[in-house]
Amino acid sequence: MPPTNNTDKRLADYEQRYRELAAQLASIGLIHSGSLTRRYTRCATPGCKCHADPPQPHGPYYQWTAKINGKTVTRRLSETEAKLYEEWIANDRQLRHIIQQMRQIAAKAAELKLKQATNS
Ligand SMILES: [Zn+2]
């Protein structure tokens, strides 16, 4: 069976979507691995505001955590640093999301192309 116009149309659609995603990749900002946590703590000092009613815990404290070569690495961050990390980590998540979509589209397009190649 020769490749139908329908197959060509689907391939063209995949191609276009794929290019759109690639363009999004090109404009992505800095990326960073790991994750951020924001914590509030209570100390051991009696009468401290963190034990008041209502309690006013210490913080927020920001920490970055990542696994590097199988080891968990942590770093204390200032609020300013945390905001930057937050942005970079969000970019990293978006990057992986885009690549995942590209893989799915590429797999579908590859299937169609393989069918065309064996049928021609
Ligand atoms: Zn305290």
CA of 79 to the centre of ligand 1 (A): 20
Say whether pLDDT at 5 is over 80. Answer: no
Distances (CA, A) of 98 to 89, 93, 112, 120: 14, 9, 21, 33
CA of 46 to the centre of ligand 1 (A): 8
Q: Which pLDDT score, from 0 to 100, does residue 91 have?
A: 98
Say whether pLDDT at 3 is over 60. Answer: no
Question: 15 — phi, psi (to 5°)?
Answer: -60, -45
CA of 59 to the centre of ligand 1 (A): 10
Q: Which pLDDT score, from 0 to 100, does residue 50 have?
A: 95
Please tell me whether residue 61 adopts helix, strand or coil conformation: strand
Write the pLDDT tens digit of every residue in 68-98.
999 999 999 999 999 999 999 999 999 999 9
CB 109 within 8 A of CB 15: yes
CA of 39 to the centre of ligand 1 (A): 14
> Which residues have C-beta within 8 Å of that of residue 8, sequence separation ≥ 6?
none
Tokens representing residue 100 in the block = 């995942």
CA of 35 to the centre of ligand 1 (A): 26
